[in-house]
Structures are given as structure tokens and as C-alpha cells.
Amino acid sequence: MPSRLVHSAKFLPAAAHTGVPRGLRAHVNQLRRIVLSACAAAAVLTTSACSGVAVQVSYRNADLVAMSRVDKYLALDDAQDAVARRQMQQFFAWHRYEELPEYARWLRSLKPQFARPMSPDEFQGLIGELERRADRSAARFAQDMAPVVSSLQPRQLAHMRKVMDERTRELMKEYIEPSPAKLRDERFDDLLLVAERIWGSLSSEQKRMLRAASDARPLDHALFVAERRRVQDDSVATFAKVQKLALPAPRAATELLALYDRSRPSPDPQRRAYFEQVTRGSAAALAQLSQTVTPAQRKHAQEFLESLASDFDELSRRKVVARAE
């Protein structure tokens, strides 16, 4: 699969995913949809173009968003729900105080790069750095949520399978049935959104250039759906293993991280090559665009990075208030 970050990515993470369906870009793999989806929610600040207030409200509610997704797939009972909410709050407290200050420093360190034209390798390097940071959050989240996974019952695994099957049918309608022209249009819109969140409004000529670069990328959503199904099957099998063997939380965490690692890159050579080509094409498109941006657009990028970093700083200084169960 392409880049692993959560990735509803609308900023740098999306640079890796803009050739891949939005469902994949939103959470990258099924594991994040079930357990590690909180990592994507935790990264909401780096993916938002909202005002500072809206961004901070989004982050403060990220645990609720993650819990809603976890419950959708696992149908937790009341006791499990209480444990999951406590563990979710524990994860986000860690993320707020340990990770957000690091993200703020990193975002500010990117300013010199965005003040000049950038190469495809530089964009791919940014994607790689985001992946490394996501790995750290994934490891912590697997540790925090392992007690919930260890408590799952067969009926909940059956529910998980049912929800996954329903989602696969939705993806078929969304990404297989539409015409190639419609899919190319939607993919370009995603890439344009990324570019304009970084540099602001683009000129007509810049949009034409970006459209040509977008269309040059391969497009085969059938490979995406097939890979999604593989990860779904692996997820169900892993959760079933934890349940059948009654694994304690530490061993369950190990299994979750192994599943996370197996979710990327794809073991299928054809799919892996396709996702890599899409990622390279997206990075090349953004790099090409960076050669043409105006001084005002570069100024927009600097202000965007500083705004996100400032939001991180402010959030990391605020005390976490425990939610009532």
C-alpha cells in the first residue's frame, strides 16, 4: 500500500494518497479503521485547513471520533466501552503532551523547504517522516487498546466481518462502477485540494499543469479494493486468534503491531508496484507545481505551516479534562 498515515489526510500525508481512493487515503488500511483509527484522528491538526479554533475543536473531539469508529466495527458492550474510553483518553493525553510539541518543531523545520522549489525526492522524504511518526503513535495505541481487543467475543468478530463486507460493497459502488473519466476527475480534485491547502489558490495554468500530472499517474481501483479485502481478512483472522487463544493484553498488542506491519507494503507485487507508482506520481506532481508557485503562494505555505505549529503548541499546553463515562 502507499504511505501509511491516515491515513483523512489533507496536507502532507495526502501527497502520498491523492492517487488512491479517498476511503484508502482516510485510513490507509483496515487495521486503522478498527483499532488504530485514533492515530488518524490524532493527526487531524496536520491535515486540516480550518481556522485555529476549528482545528483545536477537532482535536479535542478526536477521541470521540475514534471511539465511534471502533464501536462501529466492534459493537462493544458497556463494560468494554468503559475500558475503551479510558484507554482512548490515556492515548490522547500521551499524544497531546509527547507528540504535539514534536510535530510543532517539525512543521517549523519544513519552512526553508517550502520557501523554494522542491524535488519529488523531498516530497517523498516528507511522506517517509510522517510514516515514522505514525509508527510511534501506532505502537502506543496498540499498547493502550490491547485490553479491549483481548476482551472481544465471537459475536463481535462476526459483527466486525459483517461491517467490513458492507464497506467493501460500498467501495465497489464508489470506485469500480463509475466511469474512468469520473474517477480521474475525482482524483484530480483531491490533488488540487492538497495543493491549494499548501500554497493557496492556483492559477488556471497551474491547474492545467497539475491536471496533466494527475492524469499521468496509473489508475486501477480494482487493485485497491483487492488489497483492502486482503487486509480485512487478515484483520479478522488476527482478532480471532487473540480471542481464541485468550491472549493477554501484552501479547495482543504484539499481534496488533504485527498486523499493522503486514498492512504495508502489500505482499502482492502487482499491487505494491501500483501503489508505489501512484505515490511517486503524486510527489512528482507536487514537486513540479512547486517550481511555479509565486512569492505570495510561498508566503501562504509559510503561514500555513506556522499556523499548524502554533495550534500544536497551544493544544500541548492545555490540560486534558477526563470525560465522564
Is residue 173's pLDDT more than 60? yes
104-127 pLDDT, tens digit each: 999 999 999 999 999 999 999 988
Grid coordinates of 10: 489533507
Lowest mean pLDDT among 28-42, 77-91, 184-198, 281-295: 28-42
d(CA 303, CA 258): 39
Grid coordinates of 76: 462493544
Which residue is listed with cell 496533466?
212
d(CA 244, CA 203): 58
Of the two residues 36 and 210, the one the predictor is more confident about is: 210
CA angle 214, 215, 216 (to 5 degrees): 90
Phi, psi (degrees; rounded to nearest 5) at 249: -55, -45
Contact 119, 15 (CB under 8 A): no
Selection from 3, 38, 145 nearest residue 83 by Cα: 145
Q: How confident is the model at residue 65 (pLDDT cuts 50, 70, 90)?
A: confident
Question: Other C-beta atoms within 10 Å of 195: how many?
Answer: 25
- What's the whole-model pTM score? 0.80
How distant, in Å, are the alpha carbons of 35, 71, 204 from that of 64? 13, 10, 40
Q: How confident is the model at residue 20 (pLDDT cuts 50, 70, 90)?
A: very low
Which residue is listed with cell 486501477?
220
Contact 70, 84 (CB under 8 A): yes
* Burial status of residue 302 (CB atoms within 10 A of its CB: 0-12, 13-18, 19 or more): middle
Q: How confident is the model at residue 320 (pLDDT cuts 50, 70, 90)?
A: low
Rg (CA), the chain: 20
Cis? peptide before 265, omega within 30° of 0: yes
Q: How confident is the model at residue 32 (pLDDT cuts 50, 70, 90)?
A: very low
Where are the alpha helices (H) located in 95-179, listed in sequence order?
Answer: 100-109, 111-114, 120-150, 154-175
- What pLDDT is stored for residue 57 in this prediction? 65
135-144 pLDDT, tens digit each: 888 889 889 9
140-159 pLDDT, tens digit each: 988 999 999 999 999 999 99
